[in-house]
Amino acid sequence: MLKPLAHFRIVDLSCVLAGPFATQLLADFGAEVQKLEPPEGDPTRGWGPPFEDGDAGESAYFRCANRGKRSRIIDLHTEAGKETLFDLLKDADVLVENFRADSADRLGLGWKRLHAQFPKLILASVRGFASDVTASRRAGYDLLIQAESGWMAITGEPEGRPMKVGAALVDVLAGLYCANGIQAALLHRERTAEAVHIEVPLMEAALAGLVNVAAGALMTGKTPKRWGNAHPQIVPYQSFLCRDGDVAIAVGSDRQFEVLAMWLGLDLVPHPEWKKNRGRVKDREAIVTLIEARTQASTVEDVLAVCEANGIPASRVRSVDEVLFRKSGELHNLLQPLFEVGSNTVVPTLATPVLINGERACASLPPPRRKP
């Protein structure tokens, strides 16, 4: 398939998820990525279970973000390690790191020093907090950023405790911003010959990811609250309990609600305000109660059949294993088997969800195993 970044070389000093996720995306687009790990390895190699073959095998966590890379051990606290790194940077286009800013400076990896020594090198730094805020020296882990950014405060049932999202989405979001920033920097360098420093703070990636929730808080000055599986600005737009499971119904237009009301046997004449979303938001509780009374008396298949026949967006609430395996080919084609070099060992992975000329972007190399 097309590899638009095939002529670029990336040196990846990052670990855990955000930085490695960014460089994996670049590898999927064809970039040559050299992953440099400390003597103890990327910490995620030990994050499990699950591991491939008991406690001695590869971790699923490491595998999720390191496809398409070659790896080597390097100790940056030694002169030999620094010399090896700087030799690699002579021919590199991008260096990706996720040290705290003060740690990067102590290692000789600050922007001013690197730019003076390697004027064509783009530096991409993933931080917990931006270098120009007072919290800049704090470590940034996904859980901490979800707590600090307000994500946990708006996640969970209304009367329950704040909850984190089920996957490390702050890291993923920051990784996507980082990869996008790197590609923009490469394009800028191609046009102007100027290399730049990209910085992606997890905290600010999380705040940007609040989208309409943050926009509402900025507009009103009010504190957003938790809505469970419901939507603060759209009704009905949530999951509903059925006799044999849960179904998600996403009414995105007033016309769709009128059709849903017909199925419910709901007379809108006494409630003309319900014909508009803003009226339904005001009477959320009454409308949700009416819908769930009907869904609880129905099976998931019954509800889905009615919704499909009438153009109402709806879906079954599925488990992860169900959608990965049983729905592959129907709902997605993201599963990609990779083969270990020189063996028939298959490493299952999820390709990047970007189709280029009809093919999903996916590097051919499986995540690198740790050298003994």
Distance CA 274, CA 279 (A): 5
User: Which of 12, 28, 93, 171 does the annotation list as catalytic?
Assistant: 171
Q: Is residue 87 flagged as an active site residue? A: no
Query: What region does 211 belong to: left with phi over 0, alpha with psi -120 to 50, or beta?
Result: left
Structural contact between residues 338 and 347, judged by C-beta atoms closer than 8 angstroms: yes
Instruction: Output Rg (C-alpha) for the chain, integer angstroms.
Output: 24
Helices (H), 136-241: 142-149, 169-192, 202-208, 211-220
3-state SS assignment for residue 124:
strand
Distance CA 137, CA 119 (A): 27
**116: phi then psi, degrees, rounded to nearest 5:** -70, -35
**302: phi then psi, degrees, rounded to nearest 5:** -60, -45
Distance CA 152, CA 161 (A): 9
**Long-range CB pairs of 38-44, under 8 A, 24+ apart, other chains included:** 38/73, 38/74, 38/75, 38/76, 39/73, 39/75, 41/73, 41/370, 42/15, 42/16, 42/66, 43/15, 43/16, 44/15, 44/16, 44/17, 44/20
Residues classed as catalytic: 171
